[in-house]
Structure 1
Amino acid sequence: MQHSSNRRSNRVRSEETRDKLIEAARRLFVEKSYAETGTPDIAREAGVTRGALYHHFTDKQALFAAVVEREAGSVAEEIERHTVTSPTASAALIEGGKAYLEAMQAPGRTRLLLLDGPAVLGRSRMDEIDNCHGNRTLREGLKAAMEMKQIRVLPLDALTGLLGAAFDRAALAVDSGADKDAYEAGLAALIVGLSVTR
């Protein structure tokens, strides 16, 4: 019984250390940039040894990937939370666009996901991450709207990629100070333009 309890507490401690490292790395990557942040800085910020850092992550890039994965997951959670009560699939797409822009306003998130992410991890790795999170929610929404005959049936992967790029461009513009309402209206118009009843 004691042995099982120790194993569980070791696992909890290990998860807590990993969380500390991800949170510390996120703060520093946003504050100083990926290039200007070293693993000693991250270990110090997290209050752990470098050995503990390398126990959990093979290198700084692996830790950055964990930060990006967590940020992308948070965005997807926000989209799902805001669209679960939407009356129709097409309304959920519009609400999802708004939720995406709102979620991307978390300090540093746009830079992490849309600028540093592709530069550090490469486009294909970022696409893998996005396809598990933000693009997944968009793809599922488009598929549901097509199946319910609320929008035109078009090649799903291509449409997801094109709309996802539009959402990302809007997030970058808003992050640079553009009018969020204007971009929300533009994204909504793109989705309404897919309607079978327009």
Structure 2
Amino acid sequence: MSFIARINAAYLTCRSYAVSMPKIIGGSLQEHREQTRNKLFAALSTLMADRGFDAVSLADIASAANVGRTAVYNHFADKEALLIGFITHETEQYVATLERALSEVTDPVEQLRTYVRQQANLSTVFHVAPGPDLRTVLSKSTRMQLREHAIVVETILRRILRAGIITRQFPDQNVDVTVRLINACLSGSHLPSDPAERARAIDATEAFVLRAVGVPPRVARFGVTR
């Protein structure tokens, strides 16, 4: 084969490869990857809320995200890997938002109030999605990874409670038990969709949690600065 023929053959090979490459959504490959992942996360969240994790396939998620089915595997090996990626992303976003909100107040009582409100306003897709409980359909390794994300948030709550105990605003108590009870209360509550009713429900939940950790009723109900 002549040199020119080889160049032409190489050109045709490269051209064929380029045609088969997925279209880049953003201005760079990294932006494209991030946008694709975000589309997959949004699709997973919507489908989970509608059907439950167990009833959703990767093909369903790819279709809802308008992403090629084979392209999904460039990002995630399977559905559980996608779930872990989604929860990692959501946890990072939530923790950053929570820490910003907590940085605006220094009083442990007000920080606990802020924590309760942030948790109450958090999307509850994992708690209210139809179908089996996530813990019953996931592998042990995936459950352990999800637990690690929960620990990140629990660490913040422990920090608030210990600060309140040190300053004597909360009575001495078993912090580990209190953390479990508070999170069970918050994760098990289903808030009304009506804005006024929702606000009243959050107020009641906030006051209940504060009283449960030993904050005086008047402070729990009205706050330390009112």
Partners of 2:108 and 2:160 within 8 A in 1: yes
Counterpart position of 1:151: 170
* Deviant stretches of 4+, over 6 Å: 175-178
Count of matched residue positions in the alignment of Structure 1 and Structure 2: 181
Offset of 1:150 from its aligned partner?
A: 3.0
Conservation of the 8 A alpha-carbon contact between 1:135 and 1:160:
yes
Unaligned runs of 5+ in 1: 1-7
Please name the residue that 1:181 is paired with: 203
| TM-score, normalisation: structure 2 | 0.66
Equivalent-residue separation in structure 1 for 2:62 and 2:76 (angstroms): 12
Q: 1:71 aligns with which of 64, 78, 90?
A: 90
The match for 2:114 among 72, 90, 95 is 95
1:42 aligned partner: 61
Shift of 1:50: 1.9
Q: Offset at 1:69?
A: 2.9
CA distance in 1, matches of 2:202, 2:110: 19
Post-superposition offset of 1:52: 1.4
Question: Which amino acid is 1:168 matched to?
Answer: S
77-86 vs 174-183, greater mean Cα deviation: 174-183
Give 1:8-47 correspondences, 5 Å limit: 9-47=28-66
Match of 1:127 in 2: 147
Amino acid at match of 2:128: R
Q: 1:107 to 1:154 in 2, by over 3 A?
A: closer
TM superposition shift of 1:92: 0.6
Match of 2:214 among 164, 167, 192: 192
In structure 2, C-alpha distance between the alignment counterparts of 1:14 and 1:74, rounded to whole Å: 18
3-state DSSP class of the match of 1:58? coil
Any stretches of 5+ residues in structure 2 without a counterpart?
1-26, 217-226
Once residues 154 and 189 of structure 1 are traced to their aligned partners in structure 2, the CA distance between those partners, rounded to angstroms, is 13
* Corresponding residue of 1:118: 135
CA RMSD of aligned residues (A): 3.1
- Contact 1:79–1:137, Cα closer than 8 Å, also in 2: no
Report the CA distance shift for 1:44/1:107 in structure 2 as closer, same or farther (over 3 A): same
Partners of 2:92 and 2:128 in 1: how far apart? Answer: 16
Q: Which has the larger radius of gyration?
A: 2
Q: Give the percent of matched residue pairs that are identical in Structure 1 and Structure 2.
A: 24
C-alpha distance after superposition, 1:122-171 (max 9, x if no partner): 65443211112x212212212332343432344443332332223223xx
Query: Within 2, Cα distance between the matches of 1:188 and 1:39?
Result: 42
What does residue 85 of structure 1 align with? 104
Report the TM-score when normalising by structure 1: 0.73
